[in-house]
Amino acid sequence: MIPPEFDYTAPDSLDGAMRALAEGGEDAKVLAGGHSLLPLMKLRLAAPTLLVDLRRIPGLRGVQREDGSFRIGAMTRHADLQVNGELGVVADAASLIADQQVRNRGTIGGSLAHGDPASDLPTVLLALDGTVTVAGPGGTREVAASELFIDYLTTAVGQGEILTEVRLPAMDGWGHGYEKFNRRSEDWAMVGIVALVKKAADGSCEDVRIGLTHMGSTPLRATAAEQALRGQGLDAQGIARAAEQAAEGTDPPEDLNASADYKRHLARVLTRRALEEAVAAA
């Protein structure tokens, strides 16, 4: 449980952090809340020789609403998100991450750059069709959620790059539901579901988004279930029919908690519940 030796620096500017990362080369790592990286180091599954801490860089923390969307600094902690009712499903998901100690340190940028398919916020970003800003030696670029999560713990944030900001549409007029299933309340999701529903004037489903946590090597969208509900009635039968398709095309990893079949079952049940919540709130 003791990590290998490493050097540490906490620059006070983004440029300084990128210089430090460039000098440290492939063994340098960004440090945000440390609640994924430090456990990996203690287990000797990661052994960076230099940690570049972002905590002293101004402007990386906070939530601002602008032109129908939210801009969230990468160093904004889960604890800041969970108390911000304006953020809707983002706040709901953040409030269910681990326990308050983890939420007091873990950051949205760290969670998204790390790309754990069992984590809550990557699925929220995907369901909301959000984007992240990534700064690197060649300048900054916007990366859409659909391009960010490449494989298990592998994201489009490259070596020497820093995820600086998250942009999420405000989803005004949409209802949301969030369902997370685990054995103990502070555990990662066995399966988690984000549902967002927009009702048409006649009460049918104008649009719908469904995100799946821990149903593959990256967060996923339940596109078959979305298609089954879009344009249809939002009564109990319509929701149940769509939810039956929630696990279509998924390849959930088996672990000590759940077989792949059990996870597919959970996805169907939790999607129905999350859709019901979203429809009631829409």
Ligand X SMILES: Cc1cc2nc3c(=O)[nH]c(=O)nc-3n(C[C@H](O)[C@H](O)[C@H](O)COP(=O)(O)OP(=O)(O)OC[C@H]3O[C@@H](n4cnc5c(N)ncnc54)[C@H](O)[C@@H]3O)c2cc1C
Chain residues in the site for ligand X (CB under 6 A): 29-37, 39, 54, 74, 97-98, 102, 106-107, 109-111, 113-114, 116, 119-121, 157, 162-163, 188
Rounded to 5°, the CA angle 197-203-206 comes to 45
Give min distance, CB of 272 to ligand X, in A: 22
Q: Which is nearer to ligand X, 123 or 271 (CB)?
A: 123
Nearer to ligand X, 70 or 208 (CB): 70
Pick between residue 159 and residue 223 the one whose CB is nearest to ligand X.
159
Q: How many beta carbons lie within 10 A of that of residue 195, not counting itself?
A: 35
Provide the minimum distance between the beta carbon of 55 and ligand X in the complex, in angstroms, as a whole number: 10
**Can you tell me which residue has the tokens 């953020």?**
87
Give min distance, CB of 149 to ligand X, in A. Answer: 13
Residue placing its CB nearer to ligand X in the complex, 74 or 205: 74
User: Residue 157 or 243: which CB sits closer to ligand X?
Assistant: 157
Q: Are 54 and 60 in contact (CB under 8 A)?
A: yes
d(CA 252, CA 117): 10
The nearest distance, CB 198 to ligand X, in angstroms, is: 26
Q: How far is the CB of 121 from ligand X (least distance, A)?
A: 6
